[in-house]
Amino acid sequence: MKTRIALILTGLLISCALASGQQASQGLPGANPRPGVAASSPRATSEDSLTRFDLDFPGGTPGELVRAIEKASGKPLNAIIPNEHANLQLPPLRMKSVTVQTLFQALEMASAKTEMYATGTYDFGSPPGVGTRTQYNSYQSSYGFQTQGPLGDDSVWYFFYRTRPRLEEPKTCRIYHLAPYLETYKVEDITTAIQTGWKMLGEKDPPTVSYHKDTKLLITVGEAYKLQLIDEVLRQLSNPTPKSDARPLRPRPAATEKPAKGE
């Protein structure tokens, strides 16, 4: 009988301990909310507290965008813009009832694009320039404003611009013997054709070209992939001009007027 009473008392004590533990856990921070009660989100609360405004920005620099936001929202905006990006031109922005965060997120997504750039040039043949191949890589670029910490009207935003790494390819010197080409063309004709090709490609830093009259050598210095254009120009000049099978057009003889009867 005593054993049975002891077991009953032990069960009651365990039940009381479990009940008190559940009540305590409900009051702890981060505990699961009761059914039907939404959990509070500090980030959502801070986003909702941001000022909303309408913006009609015609385009301009990051600093001009900051001033336009301050005028539209009626509040100052803490922003840091590095000097090297101060003159970057941003696109026009027309927004309705936006916050600073949603505006900057949209700006970053709209500016994202994939760029291709040359990483190196390799020669697979002889003479130089024959079998040359250029290796390329891709890079995701974007720009905009970012911040850290809790969001609020007093957050500090900093402007960033992610672009491809500036890799300088070493320059090389190539020498071309132009004597075979000078039997048909002038030096100026050849160098003008080469310069025109670089201009059409939009090369802002084309290779240096110098002609040595006594030896009839064309001396060039620049990146290997840019010198490939010289190889292509000389290759085309060395090919014989194909003859056309079409006969030249002859002017039709003028129609002779028949003399009138009686003349």
Write the Ramachandran bin of 97: left for phi over 0, alpha for psi from -120 to 50, otherwise beta: left
Backbone angles phi, psi at 164, to 5 degrees: -65, 150
250 to 84, 206, 253: CA distances (angstroms): 65, 46, 9
Which residue is listed with tokens 């760029």?
115
Closest CA to 103 of 45, 40, 147: 147
Cβ-contact 160, 146 below 8 angstroms: yes
Q: Quote the strand ranges of 2-102, DSSP E.
A: 53-57, 78-80, 93-98
* Average pLDDT for 236-261: 57
For residue 208, give Cα distances in angstroms to 4, 195, 237.
105, 10, 21
Percent of the chain at pLDDT exceeding 90: 46
- Percent with pLDDT over 70 in the chain: 64
Please answer whether residues 226 and 207 qualify as being in contact, where contact means their C-beta atoms are separated by less than 8 angstroms: yes
Q: Residue 126 carries which side chain, given as an amino acid letter?
A: S
Cα(134)–Cα(224) distance, integer angstroms = 9
Write the pLDDT tens digit of every residue in 40-72.
344 444 567 889 999 999 999 999 999 999 999
Quick one: pLDDT at residue 59?
Answer: 95
pLDDT of residue 171: 84
Q: Note whether 42 and 151 are within 8 A (CB).
A: no
The average pLDDT across 208-223 equals 92
Secondary element (H or E) of residue 226: helix 224-238
Q: Quick one: pLDDT at residue 202?
A: 86
- What is the reported pLDDT for 133? 66
Q: Domain spanning 171-238 has what CATH number?
A: 3.30.1370
User: If you average pLDDT over every residue of the chain, what do you get?
Assistant: 77
pLDDT confidence of residue 26: 47
Kindly indicate the confidence band of residue 114, based on its pLDDT and cuts at 50, 70 and 90.
Answer: confident
Amino acid at position 37, single letter? V
Task: Tell me the mean pLDDT in the region 152-169.
Answer: 83
pLDDT at 149 over 60: yes
User: Could you state, in order of their start, the residue ranges of all structural domains in the chain?
Assistant: 46-162, 171-238
Residue 145 has pLDDT above 80, yes or no: yes
Q: Give the residue from 206, 234, 211 showing the smallest Cα distance to 222.
A: 206
Residue-level pLDDT at 45: 46
49 in Cβ contact with 100 (< 8 Å): no
Would the CA dihedral through 97, 99, 103, 106 be positive or negative? negative
- Other CB atoms within a 10 A radius of the CB of residue 228 amount to 18
Tell me what pLDDT residue 170 has. Answer: 78
Question: Is the predicted pLDDT of residue 34 greater than 80, yes or no?
Answer: no
Buried b (16+ CB within 10 A) or exposed e, 28-38: eeeeeeeeeee
Residue 115: strand pairing partners = 139
